Chain A
Amino acid sequence: NAGVMQNPRHLVRRRGQEARLRCSPMKGHSHVYWYRQLPEEGLKFMVYLQKENIIDESGMPKERFSAEFPKEGPSILRIQQVVRGDSAAYFCASSPRGSDYEQYFGPGTRLTVT
């Protein structure tokens, strides 16, 4: 039973480019969460999605960041016009239900902006 999958594991982008991070939840899980971890920090919630719906995006920066979880395919976190401050580890988690199940995390994508 495959766990949460994220790709790429490492992504290098120059300032101003776009970054696309992908997340495939565990089989049978329909809830996806994105978190960001800056150096020396804990994980910070960004967005919570169900298939074709954004449930809570209160942790997303207002500009340049967007997320989707289409009916078919992985969830995508998109960062436009990246800046150095976007360099971080981005983790995706999934759960079978919204609020009262543990979230299972993927290995993360480490984004480096040069």
Chain B
Amino acid sequence: DQQVKQNSPSLSVQEGRISILNCDYTNSMFDYFLWYKKYPAEGPTFLISISSIKDKNEDGRFTVFLNKSAKHLSLHIVPSQPGDSAVYFCAANRGSTLGRLYFGRGTQLTVWP
């Protein structure tokens, strides 16, 4: 069963505009959420995270929003750049499970000039 879902397999955005990547989860025990970025033939690279006690975390061009009541989080990239083109994975963690991450299937973001 897929406890973390990314329902959009792909997203195409023009350079300079905002990219919004969405993620839903089903397990209310998740208390920490992460976004990873992955280029082909490389491992995932940590991007940004958020604890369930917050509803927003910002790091430069990247902001993650968490809506616990809706079990939904989103990653905003502003402004989008061609180098942001990659697969973005949403992941979640339950503190009691000592580090195991549950991943979504990923969203391929393409930023065109």
Contact = CB atoms under 8 A, between A and B. Distances in A.
Asked if A pairs with B, the answer is: yes
Interface of A: 4, 6, 31, 33, 35, 40-45, 48, 55-56, 58-59, 91, 93, 95, 98-100, 102-108
A44 B43 contact: no
A78 B32 CA distance: 30
A40 B104 CA distance: 11
B102 to A, nearest CB: 7
B43 A106 contact: yes
A104 B106 CA distance: 17
A45 B34 CA distance: 15
B95 A100 contact: yes
Contacts of B57: none
Nearest to B6: A42
Contacts of B89: 42-43
A56 B97 contact: yes
Given A104-B46, A107-B42, A31 B103 contact: no
18 contacts: A4-B43, A33-B101, A35-B103, A40-B105, A41-B105, A42-B105, A43-B91, A43-B101, A45-B100, A48-B100, A58-B100, A95-B99, A99-B32, A99-B98, A105-B36, A105-B44, A105-B45, A107-B42
Contact of B99 (A6, A41, A48, A106): A48
Contacts of B99: 31, 33, 48, 55-56, 95, 98-99, 103
Contacts of A98: 98-99
A43 B44 contact: yes
Given A40-B105, A99-B93, A100-B32, A56 B43 contact: no
A100 B94 CA distance: 9
Contacts of A106: 43
